[in-house]
Amino acid sequence: MHDTLLLVDIQNDFLPGGALAVPEGDAVVPIANRLMPHFSHVVASQDWHPADHGSFAAHHPGTKPFDIGELDGLEQILWPTHCVQHTPGASFASGLDIARIDHVVRKGDDARIDSYSAFHDNGHRKATGLADTLHARGSRHLFVMGLAADVCVKFTVLDALAEGFVVTLITDGVRGVDMTAGDTDAAIQLMHEAGARIGTTVQLIS
Ligand code: VGL
Ligand code: ZN
């Protein structure tokens, strides 16, 4: 058994057909299902925004999704309205075997604060509590996969390394938004340079 699998934002809105669809985002669902039985702990993050969340372009007159704007003094990519609390888009992907998830961390639930990382909001103002939960359980090695590689997975991995966890990025288990071509490859390179190990599903289950 491996230590802890961290599933980042595998939610309907990030799958094809969703409000903020990640190309091939649905490909990570069977990979997560295949991996979960091989881990002692499975933790999932969930992007969980109120309808009036300040990251939504709809709340910034004169802007459109993917423009750069501002939120509470921080530069903010303005996103399509996504992962609104209690809507189907915010639910875990329909095919995901959620019975195997033993802890869920919700983020982005304050309208004035966005949180890409599962550990901290973007301004590093407040911890989500995930690091404490994992430390309390004795988790030391996190295996990270999910969506989106170049947004929430990237910041989650960088924070996990900063929190002192050993981190393995499961490369076939991530897909990126690629707002600019090459963003996903650059994100994987950055995570690796920051100290993340690189692994694949086949390596982990054989
Ligand atoms: C995400 C953009 C906005 C993600 C969340 O899960 O990668 N991306 N909110
Ligand atoms: Zn979001």
Q: What is the pLDDT of residue 175?
A: 98
pLDDT in the model for residue 206 = 85
Ligand 2: centre distance to CA 106 (Å): 11
What are the start-end ranges of the H helices in 52-174? 130-137, 154-162
Residues 103 and 88: their CA atoms lie apart, in Å, by: 20
- Residues in contact with ligand 1 by the CB-under-6-Å rule are 9, 14, 20, 47, 79, 147-148, 151-152
Assess contact for 158 and 150: CB atoms under 8 A.
no
E-state strands within 48-165? 68-71, 74-77, 103-107, 141-147
Cα(46) to ligand 1 centroid in Å equals 10
pLDDT, one tens digit per residue, over 107-122 is 999 999 999 999 999 9
Q: At what angle do helices 154-162 and 183-193 cross, to 10 degrees?
A: 10
9 in catalytic set: yes
Residue-range domain boundaries for the chain: 2-50+86-205
Which one from 3, 9, 13, 114 is the annotated catalytic residue? 9
Tell how far the Cα of 90 is from the centroid of ligand 2, in angstroms: 10
The answer to whether the predicted template modeling score (pTM) of the entire model surpasses 0.85 is: yes
d(CA 69, CA 79) in angstroms, rounded, equals 10
Buried b (16+ CB within 10 A) or exposed e, 105-130: bbbbebbebbbbbbbbbbeeeeebeb
- What pLDDT is attached to residue 171? 98
The one catalytic residue in 107, 121, 150, 154 is: 107
Residues of the chain with pLDDT under 50: none
Closest to 172 in 3D by CA, of 31, 29, 44: 31
Q: Which CATH architecture has domain 2-50+86-205?
A: 3-Layer(aba) Sandwich (3.40)
For ligand 1, what atom is nearest to the CA of residue 49?
9
> Which tokens hold the place of 127?
């911890």
121 given a catalytic annotation: no
